[in-house]
Chain A
Amino acid sequence: MSTDTQSRSGSGDAEAGDILRAEHLVKSYGDRKVLGDVSIRLSPGELVSILGVSGVGKTTLFNILSGLLKPDSGSILLADGEGGMQNIAGETGRLSYMLQKDMLLPHKTIQDNVALPLLLKGMNRKDARAKALSFFDQFGLSGTQEKYPAQLSGGMRQRAALLRTYLCGNRVALLDEPFSALDTLTRTSVQEWYLKVMDEIRMSTLFITHDIDEAILLSDRIYIMKGSPASMTDELVIPTPRPRDRDYMLSEEFLSYKRQIRAIL
């Protein structure tokens, strides 16, 4: 049983080869400091969870990472694919963002919904549709292209939302509690499916959740975000290879991680 919890201050010790590195992010709303000194790193293909109670500032952090908000200080470095890192703080469109609600547009068919990021980038409708359609099989969406979101189940809609996120074309996805609106059974199957697809498309994922079980089940690493102003107080590595099946949730190892996290929170 290997559980190594370590407190990290900053990310000066981040290994080379990170795809994303947020360093010393600070953000205040007026007098209220929400983020103290938040640092995160993400390796290619990794799924890292950020676990914290509601209201701790997780969404603020994601808004900063996605470029919707500017940090007061700190930097967000994204690998440029040529060995260098580029500061993208305050820039939108660099990381793909997916929310809890599927946010599909009710008036667009699934294929047009999914093709939206391509259209926004200026691709013409025909090419955008064709490119979107070419992924429908892989994402388990065959036969839904002409349907409207209202005609699909919650799980299917979330798949479509994920394909749209993927077609944003970035190598890092920010997932803000994407499965929490689904019912338990659907959630399980969508989670498993997500891990499979994520590995196939080589997406690196930062994942917000307040669900401890979900975090342990899905993640390679877990950051625990705590305090006011919030910072990453602890980091937990889950070395057991993914995908982990349901039985893993009954294992002694799983429970010991869970106890550990609950003690921290």
Chain B
Amino acid sequence: MSRRTKTAEWLTPILFIGAALLIWQAVSMSGLVPNYMLPSPIQMVQALVKDFPLLMKHSRATLIEAGLGLLIGVALGFSVAALMDAFPTARRGLYPILVITQTIPPVAIAPLLILWFSYGIAPKVVLVVLVSFFPMAVGLLEGFQSVDEDMIRLMKSMKASRWQIFRHVKVPAALGQFFSGLKIAVSYSVIGAVIAEWLGGFEGLGVYMTRVKKAYSYDKMFAVILLVSVISLLLMGLVRILQRKCMPWAYLNEENK
């Protein structure tokens, strides 16, 4: 890739986003839409700055829920994928169940979780576990199963145990899918935590959202939406960096350029 196309690679989306923001600003300044309903991007940023300390406090709560849920979700997803990979019966039995659970929208079970686990951190974490578990389990299983049958034959001919095959061949082969799944799981986890907070709680960006909604503070609504998406983007960026660190062999071509 030449330097010029590389620049175009990141410049183009920035230009488009900039144009969209400009149009938005113009529309809200023109008075076509009542200002209280659609605050301008500048007002949104102002609201963000004004409430920043409060927003940080709520972000912290949301991030703890999301992080905890994600950790458990990833661990659970890994274990279930390993189990399904090792035992075909488990795969045949569990896979349809996994798919069916994914057709249930998280918003629909969140109230139930609150009834079961009350208003504390528990229902939020459980919801995050539920939404982050699936992309991890499915991605990892696909990764484990992607290994060349001949590679396994070769390992067996070297007298490798199942555990050694898993560790030396299957886990590394699934790393790509692991990180793809993790990127999805990370953004789901923040959204999941916020949704669970909507329905009741004491702290968190979702709680903040319901409060400013009741006060009809549209600018603050927009500010917190912006914040949620910024947090998700940052976390996905973090996953990307982690992936590069963990999989140097997958980025060899880029380094050569």
Q: Which of B154, B164, B247 contacts A99 (CB 8 A)?
A: B154
Q: Is A217 positioned at the interface, with any CB of B under 8 Å from its CB?
A: no
Chain B 151-182 interface mask (CB, 8 Å, partner A; 1/0): 10111111110001000110011010000000
A107, B150: Cβ atoms under 8 Å? no
- A150 to B256: give the CA distance in the assembly, Å: 12
Q: State how many angstroms separate the Cβ of B168 from the closest Cβ of chain A.
A: 7
Q: Which of B148, B153, B247 contacts A63 (CB 8 A)?
A: B153
- B-side interface mostly: helix
Q: Is B249 positioned at the interface, with any CB of A under 8 Å from its CB?
A: yes
Give every chain B residue within 8 A of A148 (Cβ-Cβ). Answer: 248-249, 252
A: contact size bracket: 20 to 34
Q: Is A36 positioned at the interface, with any CB of B under 8 Å from its CB?
A: no
Q: Can you name 6 A-B pairs with beta carbons within 8 Å?
A: A66-B157, A93-B157, A97-B153, A105-B169, A120-B158, A148-B248
B150, A103: Cβ atoms under 8 Å? yes
B175, A107: Cβ atoms under 8 Å? yes
B252, A103: Cβ atoms under 8 Å? no
B: contact size bracket: 20 to 34
Give every chain A residue within 8 A of B248 (Cβ-Cβ). Answer: 148
Instruction: Report which A residues bind B (CB closer than 8 A).
Output: 63, 66-68, 92-93, 95-97, 99, 101, 103, 105-108, 116-117, 119-121, 148, 150-151, 168
B158, A92: Cβ atoms under 8 Å? yes
- A92 to B248: give the CA distance in the assembly, Å: 33
Give every chain B residue within 8 A of A93 (Cβ-Cβ). Answer: 157-159
Give every chain B residue within 8 A of A105 (Cβ-Cβ). Answer: 151, 168-169, 172
Name the CB-closest residue of B to A97: B157
- A148 to B252: give the CA distance in the assembly, Å: 9
